[in-house]
Structure 1
Amino acid sequence: MKRICTKILSIFLTCTVLFTTTSFTANMHFCCSKLVSLSVTGEAKPCDEKLQKPENTTKKCSLEQKDCCSTDSFINIGNDDLRKVSSELDSHAFVFLKAFFHSYFSLFQELELKTVSVINHDPP
């Protein structure tokens, strides 16, 4: 279970780093405040190709009107200033960590049961 969680977390972190460092633009075309087309690879198709009658004719906006349509772009600018974090330990910190881990892990070691060989012998 631990291996699966580790793999899922590493894939998630890899995708996060990839998404934050990659630049892309998404173009969206809206008609009557509704999304008509979305494109990540190029320009969004205008609503001229998708002429349809609006469902509600009481609205001021219709697909035939050119002024109610809008094209918006979402731009994600990648982060290029990634820094590799390095931490150097001085000798005092290294000795402290070594002593700490040694004493901490020795708490969980089982003690060996030693048999006393004197019990089976007769007293002098």
Structure 2
Amino acid sequence: MQSFNKIIAISLVFAVMFASSSFTVNMHFCCNKLVDMAVFAKAQVCDNSIKGQTNSLKECSFEKKGCCDNKSFVKEGSDNFQKTSFEMENQNLVFLHTFFYAYVNLFEGLEQNIVPFLNYDPPLIPKDFQVLHEVYLI
């Protein structure tokens, strides 16, 4: 149970850190193909090894100036977290105390399951009333 609480706490820390941080993803496209992608840095432009490849599209070549395109994705961070104060009133404290006391004692039971009517026989039925009145369960 303690390890589960630690896992939840760590995941909540990462969720708050991701929600409050901002980052930019830069992408460089040539001929509608992703050439380079960089996080927190600028994407590099086409190099000579890619220029030597053959293209299936004749209208797009690496030598053309308008062929390459840079796109950026910006994730803005938010800093509008609210700080809450936790003040306990006497009524809430008494309610929580009684609730936890009742909840803990709910699962404490007898070690042995006692059935008070275990040694008694069922009553004798002189006639079968279901057959007598022709009432059957379907």
Higher RCO, 1 vs 2 (CA within 8 Å, ≥6 residues apart): 1
CA distance in 1, matches of 2:62, 2:104: 72
Alignment TM-score, normalising by the size of structure 2? 0.64
- Tell me the equivalent position of 1:103: 102
* Cα RMSD for the two superposed structures: 2.6
* Structure 2, unpaired ranges of 5+: 113-138
The amino acid of 2:63's aligned partner reads E
Per-residue CA distance 1:77-97 (angstroms, 9 max, x = gap): 211122233343322222222
* Structure 1, unpaired ranges of 5+: 114-124
- Mark the CA change 1:90 to 1:59 in structure 2 (over 3 Å): closer, same or farther: farther
- Tell me the equivalent position of 1:76: 75
Aligned length in residues: 112
- Mark the CA change 1:37 to 1:20 in structure 2 (over 3 Å): closer, same or farther: same
Q: Which has the larger radius of gyration?
A: 2
Secondary structure of the structure 2 residue equivalent to 1:47: coil
CA distance in 1, matches of 2:90, 2:46: 69
* Contact 2:55-2:61 within 8 A present in 1 as well: no
Alignment TM-score, normalising by the size of structure 1? 0.70
- Mark the CA change 1:71 to 1:58 in structure 2 (over 3 Å): closer, same or farther: closer
- Mark the CA change 1:56 to 1:112 in structure 2 (over 3 Å): closer, same or farther: closer
CA distance in 2, matches of 1:22, 1:50: 36
The amino acid of 1:94's aligned partner reads L
Q: How does 1:25-104 map to 2 (within 5 A)?
A: 25-104=24-103
Per-residue CA distance 1:31-78 (angstroms, 9 max, x = gap): 111111112233211125554244443442222222121101111221
Secondary structure of the structure 2 residue equivalent to 1:26: strand
